[in-house]
């Protein structure tokens, strides 16, 4: 495969952009090789600067559930641009987007638009602190909630600990109010709550983890979070930046039957453009300025072009719920096919799947949390990634990222994915 134009662009980018990329995982550091620079995309396929094409299994990390360059989304964006890319004043689409989300997600009565998932989660934590008058919050190891300082913490030596900074530039003071627990572990959560009684404002969680690879919740986990938050006057925040409108019209909460107090959104609601949002009950949301004292603002929040793209997707999904069954069926075809390949080759690796999200972990352990995810063989995953890439299959360049299927992936693409998987797994294990 010729990638000389991508290589030249990456060399130039390294002189202009830190690491040559604008988001770290894109640099291929964990899988080896140089990143591929994309030129355009359509349907199920990405096309790079050297005219190679790839079946896309990340779909812009989730938002392109209808496939790339969907005609309805494109038309909505083009029509919006004609009226100006930005007003700096209220517009009709902000109201219509709020109406649509409130209609689709029962736990939300009011919603505030922002510009990214990170902004949404940062704002949600500030809202929880202001509403409850308490400062500490609990997050789960391996769950990613954006690059806000309070979220960039790592676990210490214990199973549960006060957070310590996970990045230079994050102060101990900033992270000291972040408490960590293992995902899918209610017993540790109970201990943390008991040790910090009346000090915890919120529990924030990815209802389906996507940033340790795809890790669904255990049957009792989300219900257990809900009951404990109710008992201790703690707000439950669902980070549905990935899962919102991907797993059902009401996101993971609709699929799994547990309602949070606050929900954060991103990705799909922007249709591939930068959009975030957070919402909840009127009682909670009325504390946000200018109605209440908790300040949050954004120059481009509610951008008319971004909202046009997001609304086009949401209207399509809301009007055609059968899409969810279709993409889940496609995903099951892929994971069932991979499972058969693993069995045929005598390999005992783990596949997690829910709806249109899945991950293949190079470990024989059941992956239910970040510690289990870290038992994966990173070297084997890197070899698998490179082998699939050379055969025209674009995976997430990290073991610890979920894959996302779009409705544009059909039987022909499934067959190519499985053929490549079979060949690559045979190839990398022959070299062992």
For the chain, give the percent of residues with pLDDT over 90: 90
The structure's pTM equals 0.95
Residues pairing with 200 in the sheet? 136
Give the domains, in start order, of the chain with CATH numbers: 4-57+321-430 (3.90.1150.10), 71-319 (3.40.640.10)
φ, ψ for residue 285, nearest 5 deg:
-70, -25
**pLDDT tens digits for 114-148?**
999 999 999 999 999 999 999 999 999 999 898 88
Q: What's residue 123's pLDDT?
A: 97
pLDDT score of 161 more than 50: no
Determine the Cα–Cα distance for residues 64 and 404; give it in Å rounded to an integer.
9
Whether the predicted pLDDT of 163 surpasses 80: no
Q: Which two tokens stand for residue 242?
A: 């990935």
Task: Give me the pLDDT at residue 174, please.
Answer: 76
pLDDT value of residue 347? 97
Stretch 40-59: mean pLDDT: 98
What mean pLDDT comes out for the span 353-367?
Answer: 98
Query: pLDDT tens for residues 76-104?
Result: 999 999 999 999 999 999 999 999 999 99
State residue 234's pLDDT score.
Answer: 98
Q: Please tell me the predicted confidence (pLDDT) of residue 171.
A: 76
Q: Look over the chain and give the mean of its residue pLDDT values, rounded to a whole number.
A: 94
Q: What number is the average pLDDT over the span 285-297? A: 96
pLDDT band at 158 (very low <50, low <70, confident <90, very high): very low
Dihedral sign, Cα of residue 36, residue 267, residue 383, residue 143: positive
Q: What is the model's pLDDT at position 168?
A: 79
Residue 323 has pLDDT above 80, yes or no: yes
Does residue 56 have a pLDDT over 60? yes
Predicted local confidence at residue 391, as pLDDT: 98
Instruction: Report residue 149's pLDDT band, with 50, 70 and 90 as the boundaries.
Output: confident
Distances (CA, A) of 134 to 126, 137, 201, 237, 369: 10, 9, 5, 15, 28
- pLDDT of 250-289, one tens digit each? 999 999 999 999 999 999 999 999 999 999 999 999 999 9
Question: What angle (nearest 5°) sits at the alpha carbon of residue 110, between those of residues 105 and 115?
Answer: 90
Give the model's pLDDT for residue 150. Answer: 82
What's the pLDDT tens digit per position in 181-239? 999 999 999 999 999 999 999 999 999 999 999 999 999 999 999 999 999 999 999 99
Strand order of the sheet with strand 45-48?
A: 38-42, 45-48, 53-56, 393-394
Give the model confidence (pLDDT) of 233-249 as tens digits.
999 999 999 999 999 99
Selection from 34, 44, 45 nearest residue 5 by Cα: 34
Active site residues: 144, 239, 267
**Backbone torsions φ then ψ of 364, nearest 5 degrees:** -90, 0
335-345: pLDDT as tens digits: 999 999 999 99
Averaged pLDDT for residues 361-371: 96
Bridge partners of 351, per DSSP, are: 360
């Amino acid at each position: 495969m010729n990638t000389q134009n991508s290589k030249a662009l990456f060399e130039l980018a390294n002189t202009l952009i830190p690491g040559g990329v604008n988001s770290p995982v894109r640099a291929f550091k964990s899988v080896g090789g140089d990143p591929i620079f994309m030129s355009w995309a359509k349907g199920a396929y990405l096309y790079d600067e050297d005219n190679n094409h790839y079946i896309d299994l990340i779909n812009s990390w989730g938002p392109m559930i209808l496939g790339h360059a969907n005609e309805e989304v494109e038309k909505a964006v083009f029509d919006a641009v004609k009226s100006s890319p930005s007003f700096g004043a209220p517009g009709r689409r902000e109201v219509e987007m709020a109406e649509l989300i409130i209609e689709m997600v029962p736990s939300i009565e009011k919603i505030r638009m922002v510009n990214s998932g990170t902004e949404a989660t940062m704002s949600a934590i500030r809202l929880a602190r202001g509403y409850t008058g308490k400062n500490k919050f609990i997050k789960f190891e391996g769950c990613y909630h954006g690059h806000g300082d309070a979220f960039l913490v790592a676990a210490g030596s214990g199973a549960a600990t006060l957070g310590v900074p996970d990045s230079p530039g994050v102060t101990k003071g900033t992270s000291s109010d972040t408490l960590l627990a293992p995902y899918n572990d209610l017993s540790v959560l109970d201990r943390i709550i008991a040790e910090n009684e009346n000090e915890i404002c919120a529990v924030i969680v990815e209802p389906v983890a996507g940033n340790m690879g795809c890790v669904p919740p255990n049957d009792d986990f989300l219900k257990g979070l809900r009951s404990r938050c109710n008992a201790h006057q703690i707000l439950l925040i669902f980070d549905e930046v990935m899962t919102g409108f991907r797993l059902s019209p009401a996101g993971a909460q609709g699929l799994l039957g547990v309602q949070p107090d606050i929900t954060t959104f991103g990705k799909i609601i922007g249709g591939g453009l930068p959009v975030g949002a957070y919402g909840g009950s009127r009682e909670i949301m009325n504390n946000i300025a200018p109605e209440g004292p908790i300040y949050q603002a954004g120059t481009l929040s509610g951008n008319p072009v971004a909202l046009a793209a997001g609304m086009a997707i949401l209207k399509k999904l809301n009007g055609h719920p059968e899409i969810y069954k279709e993409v889940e069926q496609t995903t099951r075809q892929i994971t069932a096919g991979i499972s058969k390949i693993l069995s045929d080759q005598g390999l005992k690796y783990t596949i997690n799947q829910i709806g249109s999200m899945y991950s293949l972990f190079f470990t024989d352990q059941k992956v239910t949390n970040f510690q289990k995810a870290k038992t994966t063989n990173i070297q084997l995953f890197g070899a698998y990634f490179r082998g699939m890439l050379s055969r025209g299959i674009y995976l997430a360049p990290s073991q610890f990222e979920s894959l996302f299927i779009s409705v544009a992936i059909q039987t022909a693409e499934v067959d190519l994915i499985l053929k490549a998987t079979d060949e690559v797994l045979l190839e990398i294990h022959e070299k062992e």
